[in-house]
């Protein structure tokens, strides 16, 4: 039998299986890590040059080649981390490296204060079986359907909203509400931080942290009597999720938030209608709008989406989520003093 090799990982020196190439290492990536960008999907690759503080990036190097990457973000306010992508290059798969890589990522997340991790992914991703086997092997819970992504032509979406019973009344919003460009003053920034500290917004980034990726023509501040009470944020995307329309402009509506006190008034529907109408006028009826809604936190909106938008959508994708956490004995150990564990009011999110 071959002797087990030892390698350095973020968790310290561990015995490696003989099946793993002896020169495999799992460095925590900091600074510029663009060499690993091909091991995640397009937009997440931007988080590698340089790696921002809230991002947890662990590479896999075999024979001096970058061959794997686990990428995620800290959700500092809640001692959680979100795994955005994990990949091992095809020639190195099925050798236990994916599991080691994920464990190294979890160890780094733990090091930085997280005691739970989670991930979301499209039900139709190629390689789902391998991902789920990997997660199960690393002790994550089985996946459940947590949300929906709807991909549709914006013109049809606008038409549909216009036919909803009573929609005219809803869209003729009380004058106290307005949909305005995302120009935020000091009071707005305070409001954003306050809203993001709401557990319900734990999966949100808000308009400040992801400012550089927002498409400002389609992102708005929702105001009531001039005060910020919510937002609808959008970004251009090169991944319209439709094979036949890759040259058609596509806008991804990333995040919608409204102060709970003002929900049920059709304000958010009005906000989508406003942005979709603007998209239609700037990019055309056939441009693509991609929209996510969560079964977990917004079940009414998800039901409405299924009933109303799914029939006219080009594609509806189920989003699955899985989670894992530290084994109980570890939960009693003090973390390493990372600010994340001080329950700050920052929040980061993403999905596979
Ligand atoms: C998912 C992925 C990272 C797994 O990497 P890997 O190095 O092959 O994983 P491991 O060898 O450590 O295998 C971990 C477990 O998953 C199982 N597994 C891996 N690939 C599998 C597959 N295709 N089918 C079934 N089980 C599989 C292994 O058997 C192992 O379980 P075991 O220890 O009980 O035998 C790799 O398949 C990959 O990069 N896929 C493409 C990228 C991707 O789709 N990422 C997910 C979305 S971002």
Ligand 1: residue whose CA is nearest its atom 37: 130
Cα torsion angle, 64, 70, 74, 78, sign = negative
Mean per-residue pLDDT over the chain, rounded: 81
Distance CA 316, CA 311 (A): 9
Residue 331 has pLDDT above 80, yes or no: no
Distance CA 262, CA 253 (A): 20
Report how far ligand 1's centroid is from the alpha carbon of 103 (Å).
Answer: 13
CATH fold of 6-115+326-342 reads: Aminopeptidase (3.40.630)
Domains 6-115+326-342 and 147-322 share a fold: yes
- C-alpha span between 48 and 53 (Å, rounded): 11
Give mean pLDDT, residues 279-300: 88
Q: How far apart are alpha carbons 76 and 113 in whole angstroms?
A: 8
The residue that leads in pLDDT, 84 or 346, is 84
Alpha carbon distance 196, 274 (integer Å): 23
The confidence score (pLDDT) of residue 213 equals 83
From the CA of 154, how far away is ligand 1's center (Å)?
37
Residue 344: its pLDDT value, please?
23
Mean pLDDT, residues 326-341: 44
What pLDDT was estimated at residue 170? Answer: 60
Distances (CA, A) of 104 to 29, 161, 345: 12, 47, 26
Q: In the CATH scheme, what is the code of domain 147-322? A: 3.40.630.30
Does the pLDDT value for residue 338 go beyond 50? Answer: no
Instruction: Give yes or no for residue 163 having a pLDDT over 90.
Output: no
Least confident stretch, 10-19, 191-200, 214-223, 322-331: 10-19
What is the Å distance from ligand 1's center to 126 Cα?
12
> Ligand 1, closest atom to CA 100?
12
Q: What is the CB < 6 Å shell around ligand 1?
A: 85-88, 93-99, 121, 125, 127, 129-131, 133-134, 137, 352
| Inter-residue contact 311 to 152 (CB < 8 Å) | no
Residue 246 reports pLDDT greater than 90: no
* DSSP class of 350: -
pLDDT in tens, 123-134: 988 899 999 999
The domain segmentation of the chain, as residue ranges, is: 6-115+326-342, 147-322
* Distance from residue 98's CA to the centre of ligand 1 (Å): 6
Structure confidence at residue 335 (pLDDT): 41
Residue nearest atom 44 in ligand 1 by C-alpha distance: 127
CA distances from residue 301 to 92, 162, 163, 312 in whole angstroms, order as listed = 42, 17, 17, 16
Q: Which of 132, 153, 55, 57 is nearest to 101 (CA)?
A: 57
């Amino acid at each position: 039998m071959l002797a087990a090799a030892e390698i350095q990982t973020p968790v310290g020196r561990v015995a490696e299986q003989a099946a793993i190439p002896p020169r495999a290492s799992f460095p925590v990536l900091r600074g510029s890590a663009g060499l690993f960008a091909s091991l995640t999907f397009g937009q997440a690759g931007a988080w590698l040059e340089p790696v921002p503080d809230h991002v947890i990036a662990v590479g896999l190097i075999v024979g001096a080649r970058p061959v794997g990457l686990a990428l995620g973000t800290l959700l500092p306010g809640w001692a959680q981390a979100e795994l955005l992508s994990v990949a091992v290059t095809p020639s190195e798969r099925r050798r236990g490296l994916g599991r080691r890589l994920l464990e190294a990522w979890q160890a780094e997340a733990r090091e930085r204060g997280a005691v739970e991790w989670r991930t979301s992914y499209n039900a139709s991703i190629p390689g789902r079986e391998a991902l789920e086997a990997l997660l199960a092997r690393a002790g994550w819970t089985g996946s459940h359907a947590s949300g929906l992504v709807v991909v549709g032509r914006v013109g049809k979406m606008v038409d549909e909203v216009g036919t909803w019973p009573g929609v005219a009344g809803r869209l003729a919003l009380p004058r106290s509400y307005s949909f305005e460009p995302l120009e935020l003053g000091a009071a707005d920034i305070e409001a954003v931080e306050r809203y993001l500290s709401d557990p319900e917004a734990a999966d949100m980034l808000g308009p400040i942290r992801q400012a550089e990726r927002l498409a400002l023509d389609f992102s708005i501040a929702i105001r009531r009597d001039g005060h910020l009470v919510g937002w609808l944020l959008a970004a251009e995307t090169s991944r319209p999720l439709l094979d036949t329309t890759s040259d058609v402009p596509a806008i991804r509506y990333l995040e919608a938030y409204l102060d709970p006190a003002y929900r049920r008034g059709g304000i958010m529907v009005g906000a989508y209608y406003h942005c979709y109408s603007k998209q239609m006028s700037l990019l055309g009826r056939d441009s693509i709008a991609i929209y996510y809604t969560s079964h977990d936190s917004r079940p009414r909106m998800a039901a409405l989406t299924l009933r109303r938008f799914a029939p006219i959508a080009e594609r509806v994708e189920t989003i699955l989520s899985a989670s894992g956490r530290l084994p109980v004995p570890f939960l009693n150990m003090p973390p390493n003093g990372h600010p994340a564990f001080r329950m700050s009011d920052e929040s980061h999110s993403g999905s596979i």
